[in-house]
């Protein structure tokens, strides 16, 4: 089933490995909705750090995925493939995809689609999938954060960070966040962090210990790596869980594992892009049950810093590279 579709579309292509200027608008065939997929007429797409790493040549698309960047979109369903029940032409959805988001049309596995939450614009809805799937999967499914526990997130003003602060607070945790400026720390507090730590002027290990009367954090979400690995171990409470989802400071470190044993810590991590449709679909179902009601009640919202036209994707990447943003950077079609 499909609406009347054009044969070609505008898409942002990575013309070679390199800086933001290698992102250029081009013309591509409109993709077909394969079995189990829907085709989305894209209204907006999110910009994420993995897109930057892919553009630089360090994070190739998984086998079978589009080489067009973009891991999350929102828009209107324009076609439905075989065995992709539950959706109708014209439904407004947001979706997590393995690539292809920087385009006028994008195919998405039907189980990875969610209805646009009531009260959100389509641009706001496009800001949800990448960070909400990632945070839910890692903080709640993997690390098992529970009400009453202490949670520390690094990069609190990032898309992941602003999502993690709000979801952890909404689930009843006590939230700490690190960020790189007083303005970013203020934003973290506004979102629900009881204490925001400026990592340029303060030591998060000392402050978390001090604020928890020596106990430490039950769950730590880290995208920094490097010297933070050893510091996270120091900052963790007994039976704490430390989850790495990126390594901005590098993945190779020398670390004393004795405190891991003595404090019974769990060191874990994950990536989402290469996981199966079934795995991501299960996260989508939990988000629909646990998180979409919070969004529709106004208790949790995506934080959007800036929106660019699709054809200005290079400008969006330039902004992301400055790390000056608070929350998400979006592309609008």
Tell me how far apart the alpha carbons of residues 46 and 39 are, in angstroms, rounded to a whole number: 17
1, pLDDT greater than 90: no
Residues 319 and 287 in one domain: yes
Tokens of 9: 């579309």
Local structure of residue 83 (DSSP, 8 states): T
Residues 289 and 196 in one domain: no
> Is residue 1 domain-resident?
no
Residues 241 and 281 in one domain: no
Decide: 176 and 186 in contact? Cβ < 8 Å.
no
Where is the domain boundary, 221, 242, 269?
269
Tokens of 113: 């689609």
> Is residue 34 domain-resident?
yes
pLDDT at 4: 86
> Is residue 94 domain-resident?
yes
Residues 199 and 296 in one domain: no
Number of separate domains in the chain: 2
SS3 state of residue 276: coil
Residues 124 and 144 in one domain: no
How open is the CA angle 76-81-82, to the nearest 5 degrees? 145
Where is the domain boundary, 235, 250, 269?
269
pLDDT band at 2 (very low <50, low <70, confident <90, very high): low
Residues 137 and 262 in one domain: yes
Residues 218 and 302 in one domain: no
> Is residue 150 domain-resident?
yes
Residues 85 and 28 in one domain: yes
> Is residue 3 domain-resident?
no
49, pLDDT greater than 70: yes
Residues 320 and 215 in one domain: no
Tell me how far apart the alpha carbons of residues 27 and 154 are, in angstroms, rounded to a whole number: 39
Local structure of residue 112 (DSSP, 8 states): G
Residues 160 and 251 in one domain: yes
Decide: 129 and 75 in contact? Cβ < 8 Å.
no
What letters, b where the CB count within 10 A reaches 16 and e where it falls short, cover 61-75? beeeebebbbbbbbb
Residues 154 and 282 in one domain: no
> Is residue 200 domain-resident?
yes
pLDDT at 321: 96
> Is residue 70 domain-resident?
yes
Query: What's the pLDDT tens digit per position in 184-205?
Result: 999 999 999 999 999 999 999 9
Tell me how far apart the alpha carbons of residues 163 and 26 are, in angstroms, rounded to a whole number: 32
- Residue 29 is part of which domain span? 8-128+273-332
Tell me how far apart the alpha carbons of residues 41 and 106 are, in angstroms, rounded to a whole number: 7
Query: What's the pLDDT tens digit per position in 255-313?
Result: 999 999 999 999 999 999 989 999 999 999 999 999 999 999 999 999 999 999 999 99
> Is residue 142 domain-resident?
yes
Decide: 173 and 151 in contact? Cβ < 8 Å.
yes
Cα–Cα distance list, 175 to 180, 189, 196, 242, 279 (Å): 17, 9, 9, 15, 27
Tell me how far apart the alpha carbons of residues 144 and 137 are, in angstroms, rounded to a whole number: 9
Does the pTM surpass 0.85? The reply is: yes
CATH code, domain with 48: 3.90.180.10
Residues 15 and 122 in one domain: yes
Closest by CA to 224, choosing from 200, 199, 245, is 245
Where is the domain boundary, 269, 292, 318?
269
């Amino acid at each position: 089933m499909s609406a009347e579709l054009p044969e070609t579309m505008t898409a942002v292509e990575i013309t070679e490995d390199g800086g933001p200027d290698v992102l250029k608008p081009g013309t591509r065939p409109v993709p077909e909705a394969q079995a189990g997929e829907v085709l989305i007429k894209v209204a907006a797409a999110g910009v994420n750090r993995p897109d930057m790493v892919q553009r630089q040549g360090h994070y190739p698309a998984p086998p079978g995925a589009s080489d067009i960047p973009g891991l999350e979109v929102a828009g209107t369903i324009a076609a439905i493939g075989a065995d992709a029940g539950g959706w109708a032409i014209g439904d407004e959805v947001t979706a997590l995809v393995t690539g292809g988001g920087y385009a006028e049309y994008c195919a998405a596995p039907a189980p990875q689609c969610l209805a646009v939450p009531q009260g959100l614009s389509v641009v706001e809805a496009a800001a949800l999938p990448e960070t909400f799937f990632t945070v839910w999967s890692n903080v709640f499914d993997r690390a098992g954060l529970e009400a009453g526990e202490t949670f520390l997130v690094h990069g609190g003003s990032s898309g992941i960070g602003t999502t993690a602060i709000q979801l952890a607070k909404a689930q009843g945790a006590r939230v700490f966040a690190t960020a790189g400026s007083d303005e970013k720390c203020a934003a973290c507090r506004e979102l629900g962090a009881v204490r925001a730590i400026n990592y340029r002027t303060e030591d998060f290990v000392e402050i978390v210990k001090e604020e928890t009367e020596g106990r430490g954090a039950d769950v730590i979400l880290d995208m920094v790596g490097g010297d933070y690995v050893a510091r996270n171990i120091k900052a963790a409470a007994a039976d704490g869980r430390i989850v790495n989802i990126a390594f901005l400071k590098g993945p190779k470190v020398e670390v004393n594992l004795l405190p891991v044993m003595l404090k019974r810590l769990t060191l874990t991590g994950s990536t989402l892009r290469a996981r199966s449709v079934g795995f991501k679909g299960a996260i989508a179902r939990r988000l629909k049950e646990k998180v979409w009601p919070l969004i529709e009640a106004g208790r949790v919202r995506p934080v959007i810093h800036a929106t660019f036209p699709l054809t200005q994707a290079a400008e969006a990447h330039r902004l992301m590279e400055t790390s000056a943003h608070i929350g998400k950077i979006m592309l609008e079609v």
